Amino acid sequence: MNYLIIYFKPYQFIYNMTTSIVLSTGIFDLLKDHIRRRKLSKYNQEKLELELRNARQILNKDIPANVVTVNTRVRVKELETGAEFTHIIVPPAKARNKHNTISILSPIGVAMVGYSEGSELKWEMSEGVKAYRIEEVTRLS
């Protein structure tokens, strides 16, 4: 695999050049708007900008079933602790705690969107930078 190490002072990203995230045009635009609204930490903003620069945009109907997007159930493992979580990713307007759903624009939603099963990623959460592996992605009807 080819890796590119990118330095954004004071951050360092190791970016896998052989893979890029896969997004629908609508989700791509939603994420660009999220960046413009300054809703992310500096670390996450720079990481997301890099991912969007290299993203593959396709029609929503052509997104592979194992890629995280809206209306997917995602089982993810935090690599440091081994803890596993299952999230149901939905559009921002449909996220409800009582339905156990989270917005695609939540911190973990933005971190995982566009990645496929087996992908490992890092994202800055309120407790610091966390490493995750996407264990399973299931499309919801």
Q: How confident is the model at residue 19 (pLDDT cuts 50, 70, 90)?
A: low
Q: What is the pTM of this model?
A: 0.84
Give me the mean pLDDT over the 58-80 stretch: 96
Query: In the numeric block, which tokens belong to residue 103?
Result: 């917005």
Buried b / exposed e across 62-82, counting CB within 10 Å, b at 16+?
ebeebbbbbbbbbebbeeeee
Give me the mean pLDDT over the 133-138 stretch: 98
User: What total of structural domains would you count in the chain?
Assistant: 1
CA distance 52 to 50: 5
CATH number for position 52: 3.10.50.30
Q: Which domain holds residue 123?
A: 3-139
Please state, rounded to an integer, the average pLDDT across all residues of the chain: 88
Give me the mean pLDDT over the 25-43 stretch: 93
Residue 83 has pLDDT above 60, yes or no: yes
CA distance 132 to 99: 24
Give me the mean pLDDT over the 15-25 stretch: 73
3-state secondary structure the chain: CCEEEEEECCEEEEEECCCCCEEEHHHHHHHHHHHHCCCCCHHHHHHHHHHHHCCEEECHHHCCCCECCCCEEEEEEECCCCCEEEEEEECHHHCCHHHCEEECCCHHHHHHCCCECCCEEEEEECCEEEEEEEEEEEECC
Give me the mean pLDDT over the 49-57 stretch: 94
Q: How confident is the model at residue 141 (pLDDT cuts 50, 70, 90)?
A: confident
Query: In the numeric block, which tokens belong to residue 129?
Result: 């930078």
Q: How confident is the model at residue 36 (pLDDT cuts 50, 70, 90)?
A: very high
Residue 18 has pLDDT above 70, yes or no: no
